[in-house]
Chain A
């Protein structure tokens, strides 16, 4: 940790010497130890680890701004970083909207770091994979087990200096039976909380239940979306809806103060609920931000620049690429029914295998399915892309299992569908018929970003075609 803090302080000092006391500099140093063990056809086929240190410098001098980065942390490398960023800033145009630096501010400690996860061995990851593969009992298995550790330090020339650490583990796998796939995935603070056997058993049960699917006609169906599918809704809402820059540009559906969602919907971006560095790229402390409370849109995410323009200040969402695409919440929780935004509801990490009955992977989902007279149970969404950002109309496909539900029972597997649906509309007033009681944390493609949701029962989803033709 002190290495990162020292490095950040050295870069700030280099800037002060080179550009004088009037220069405003912010520096983020991140050390990472990332490892991922990938399996397919029931064997480990890719197995990787990397160690790295990244330095990011943003410099505002003489009214102009530039950013630079690199991984050379010797004296020459740091000096070169400062030199080229200064040179770039000199040539940049004036930046009258520069929001200034984060003032010295306390930063919360963040969740405890599990050292065993941070520096897990390849054998420990392989053991989870072994358990998953054994649990599918002869089906083909594919997926990954990853561990991630990040240690970060931020310093700026306004005297703000903070440090933080985070560790995370995730296991994500499918079982394959005769062309049908079943999925189970979970993200946790501790590798020890990932039960490869339970996840493998769940994936296998779903794969077996997905055999021999029938084609159903496209149309509007009531749906029960499992947490993996709900995670896709949260991700797209985050990128295109609760993005402060896109909101300011009138590209977002979000209207703070308006009842845009069903009263059952409360969305909280809650990075400190699980493993994430406790500050953002600009050194702003992370905190819980209620995006939607009981159906009413409450806020959008901001970094310092978009927050200054909006007059709200940063919400702690400074991120790489944010100056162009905009700040994006990346740790959203859809709270279960009856929970308040501050509530902590334990995820099902230790009980993920409970209630495995085939298509319905857990008792939580079973309750929602039981209320469906005729509809579809959807495990997962795939390749979702935005057709219209303003209304957040998205097309994509189902994946890893869809079942027709009649009178509360999944009666048979269905072939994958393509859908075209407006996500805010699907979650709109009167559209959410039920939420599960237990949220499940779903990993994103990169560590530090996750989506936590229970299963959700929605009154209508617009399936526009069968994936097979």
Chain B
């Protein structure tokens, strides 16, 4: 049924004058449960199915989406997409081509040992209730737990002969403890702010062992209330892997999105400091910096078989030994830029236009361990687990806050520090990285916002702890 509707929509768009069309039927089941202070707070399930069709008329795109899969509805959607594309010609741009991609006829499914929707709700509830109750017992004013599950099936057809179906299961979760003091709040989370997520089954959540960490983070959140403030000044900064994942996401992943580089996101999400004329030569960071774009990593949240333009998942370099060498691209943006690859285009639902999105953008591991990095640091701060994030519209100036920091003195981890923040400029910061750990985790970010109408992307970020020299920390209001 999915292929039939998509095929009818594509044909209708072609009949209405499109020179290229593709259509995606998407069926998604979503389930989330949250608990607070030992009780279930919300249990929600959602199911959605629909068709989105994209048409290219001249140099103008049009996209229309409907929730019906009947032949008549699909054909009407195709015709409307072509009409919208024709209207785009009222404010025309340069000619648009698409970089070639083989017309795949394929089927792909993500790895999943334990179907997350098959796990009894009572078991999942017990997990969250137990963990949040434990946090309350150990002093948290607010003890929260959450899991989310997405089960998505897609059928993709293009006028170039693509016919691809994919079944992608994603899930994850986490817990957090908040302690409220006089005029401030402090939070500790495990394993990450909003939890850890992957393109995998419930085995990911089981392996997190949320219950085992509940007491510790509750106690740490209380301890933070009386911990000394992170000092202000310039120092050596050691970032844990979870925070470094977000650093990669914000200051590398978004910066290498080709639609930003081309100015297509200028008004809203912003542009990029990167200039295509320097692709291949620009020094992005230190020689330790090797960043890949890799949607083939099993279980990582940005993994898939084919993107939403039908391009197969392929691993590419983004930064090699500190030099900028690759971008995240779609078929049209790549053609405009004179590149020969796309493969990084996705939409967050059937009603949304596919756009350039991070897949798994991650930092390859280094030779050290976190303990070795600490041991090699005379005077610095270790920070981990994101609390706040902000970066400018060119992806240069950032300021991040973390949940927790620790003094590092004479090669040892010392006192806990509260309200740690650090700020800098992307390439300056990355060039200051001089030690990198081998302890890589593929962190999942399930809440990447981009696009108008807004879309929420799922991205993955392999990252390990690293050290950066001479970073400004402790910015205050």
Contact = CB atoms under 8 A, between A and B. Distances in A.
B264 A41 contact: yes
A81 B62 CA distance: 32
Given A70-B48, A418-B392, 12 more contacts: A40-B266, A48-B65, A73-B67, A84-B45, A91-B125, A93-B40, A122-B62, A146-B452, A387-B387, A399-B393, A462-B477, A466-B397
A103 to B, nearest CB: 23
B397 A250 contact: no
B475 A49 contact: no
Interface in A51-107: 51-53, 65-73, 80-81, 84-85, 87-88, 91-93, 95
A284 interface: no
B47 A467 contact: no
Interface in A125-177: 125-127, 129-130, 133, 140, 142-144, 146, 172-174, 176
Interface in B167-196: 178, 180, 183-185
Interface stretch (B3-11, B420-428, B433-441): B420-428
A5 B397 CA distance: 50
Nearest to B454: A445
Interface string B463-477: 000000000100111
Contact of B390 (A69, A385, A390): A385
Contacts of B88: 37, 43-45, 47, 122, 126
Contacts of B125: 91-93
A346 to B, nearest CB: 27
10 closest A-B pairs by CB: A43-B93, A122-B87, A142-B267, A126-B90, A50-B65, A142-B266, A91-B121, A44-B88, A70-B47, A467-B397
Given A66-B44, A464-B475, A45 B93 contact: yes
B399 interface: yes
Contacts of A130: 90-91
Interface in B47-100: 47-50, 52, 60-67, 80, 83-85, 87-88, 90-94
The interface size bin for chain A is 35 or more
A323 interface: yes
Contact of B475 (A127, A172, A465): A465
B14 to A, nearest CB: 18
Contacts of B268: 144
B108 interface: no
A47 B477 contact: no
A397 B392 CA distance: 7
B86 to A, nearest CB: 8
Given A48-B453, A51-B67, A445-B452, A390 B44 contact: no
A396 interface: yes
Contact of A72 (B47, B61, B265, B476): B47
B41 A324 contact: yes
Contacts of A323: 41-42
A466 B49 CA distance: 47
A418 B401 CA distance: 14
B34 interface: yes
B263 interface: yes
A429 interface: no
For B47, B63, B454, the residue with the greatest tally of chain A CB atoms inside 10 Å of its CB is: B47
24 contacts: A34-B453, A36-B453, A40-B267, A43-B88, A46-B355, A47-B87, A49-B63, A68-B45, A69-B44, A88-B121, A126-B88, A127-B90, A130-B91, A140-B263, A174-B266, A323-B41, A324-B34, A396-B390, A399-B392, A421-B477, A464-B475, A465-B475, A466-B397, A469-B428
A87 B45 CA distance: 11
Contacts of B266: 40-41, 140, 142, 174, 176, 181
A385 B263 CA distance: 24
A66 B264 contact: no
A465 B454 CA distance: 30
Contact of B45 (A41, A88, A95): A88
A418 B267 contact: no
A140 B267 CA distance: 11
Interface string A439-458: 00000011000000000000
A421 B93 CA distance: 41
B87 A121 contact: yes
A29 to B, nearest CB: 13
Interface residues of B, number: 82
Nearest to A84: B45
A220 to B, nearest CB: 11
B401 A387 contact: yes
A462 to B, nearest CB: 6
Contacts of B353: 46, 48
A92 to B, nearest CB: 5
Interface of A: 34, 36-53, 65-73, 80-81, 84-85, 87-88, 91-93, 95, 121-123, 125-127, 129-130, 133, 140, 142-144, 146, 172-174, 176, 181, 249-251, 323-324, 382-391, 393, 395-397, 399, 416, 418, 420-422, 425, 445-446, 462, 464-469
Contacts of A395: 388, 390, 399, 401, 421, 475
B343 to A, nearest CB: 19
B391 interface: yes
A69 B31 CA distance: 10
A126 B129 contact: no
B63 A48 contact: yes
B263 A142 contact: yes
Given A66-B44, A251-B185, A384 B390 contact: yes
A47 B63 contact: yes
B47 A81 contact: yes
Given A45-B93, A92-B43, A469-B425, A144 B452 contact: yes
A69 B452 contact: no
For B44, B49, B91, B428, the residue with the greatest tally of chain A CB atoms inside 10 Å of its CB is: B91
A63 B267 CA distance: 49
Contacts of A143: 267
Nearest to A38: B452
Contacts of A95: 40
A174 B267 contact: yes
B61 A45 contact: yes
Contacts of B141: 249-250
Contacts of B135: none
B180 A390 contact: yes
B334 to A, nearest CB: 15
A462 B419 CA distance: 18
A309 B144 CA distance: 19
A80 to B, nearest CB: 7
Interface in B110-165: 120-122, 125, 129, 141-142, 146
B396 interface: yes
A72 B396 CA distance: 44
B351 interface: yes
A44 B392 CA distance: 25
A181 B265 CA distance: 13
Contact of A67 (B44, B90, B94): B44
B93 A416 contact: no
Contacts of A36: 452-453
Contacts of A173: 267
Nearest to B124: A91
Contact of A390 (B122, B184, B388, B425): B184
A42 B88 CA distance: 12
A40 B336 CA distance: 14
Interface in B1-46: 34, 36, 39-46
B332 to A, nearest CB: 9
Given A388-B185, A465-B475, A72 B49 contact: yes
Nearest to A68: B45
A122 B84 contact: yes
Nearest to B423: A465
A47 B60 contact: yes
For A48, A70, A73, A81, the residue with the greatest tally of chain B CB atoms inside 10 Å of its CB is: A48
A251 B180 contact: yes
Contacts of A390: 180, 183-185
Nearest to B55: A47
